[in-house]
Amino acid sequence: MRALVLGGGGVTGIAWETGLLHGLAEAGVDLAEADLFVGTSAGSVVAAQLAGGVSLATQYEGQLRPPTGEIAARLGYGTILRYMVAYALPGTAQQKRARLGAAAVRAKTVDEAERRKVFEGRLAQGGWPERELKVTAVNTSDGAFKAFDRDSGAPFVDAVAASCAVPLVWPPVSINGDRYMDGGMRSPANVDLAAGYSQVVVVAPIVRAFGHAARPDVQAARLGADVRSIVVSPDTAAQAAIGANVLDPARRKPSAEAGFAQAATVVDAVREVWG
């Protein structure tokens, strides 16, 4: 059984992941054949479309077009510093996430309904796919981690929007009486959700984490000695294409192209895991 885990990384992360996956498919390694898709933040958008049957070629072409319908934003050093402070203060990992969640609820952002329209445009299929898909988020009230799926009772668009709700930048998303923020606040990729699968490919635009145990490579290593896994992250050229602001829609096209180019350098290693 094979799992594809797609991590967070903003609009440039969506683009880079899409380019990489398309490049791998063109080289004969189609990760869209996964038995399980796990999506966190940016990865939830890509995973949702793959699980819903949207071809990688179609997704890639979309990333090359002008980013109409996207809302420009910035994940600046000030915001990152506030994350660091929230996680540096005493408490359990869940308590730290709750602290950040409280700040996210208070933050002045665009309207939740306006932000939802972005995801209505991104997810043309509208409803939960039949294929196995887990979309991650964090409850702002208590910091609890949530993996939404088709049986969770969460509307599909809202689940993906919640996973992408970067705290202090985008509004938390209301689902069944609770408000949720970015699943990347627990881990950049939440690789541990692929436990039980024998072949796991992790595509992670961001590999640094608030805590060693949350790192994608650490979580992949803990899946078990009998599990074949690999973590692919942006190479030097892709990092330059992505730039300093992962939420800049103008960097979408070069990020996608960099991902496509990088595929040629990792295809053999990924094929060894994927089979």
C-alpha gyration radius of the chain: 17
Active site residue 142: no
Q: Pull the structure tokens for residue 259.
A: 């991902």
Closest CA to 18 of 28, 44, 125, 2: 44
| Longest Cα–Cα distance in the chain | 48
Q: What are phi and psi of 107, to 5 degrees?
A: -65, 145
255 a catalytic residue: no
Choosing from 158, 182, 192, 248, which is the catalytic residue? 182
Whole-number Å distance between alpha carbons of 68 and 24:
27
What are the phi and psi torsion angles at 5 (to 5°)?
A: -110, 120
Q: Which of 66, 69, 18, 70 is nearest to 255 (CA)?
A: 18
Active-site residue among 41, 163, 229, 255? Answer: 41
CB 33 within 8 A of CB 181: no
**Bridge partner list, 145:** 138
> What residues are annotated to the active site?
41, 182
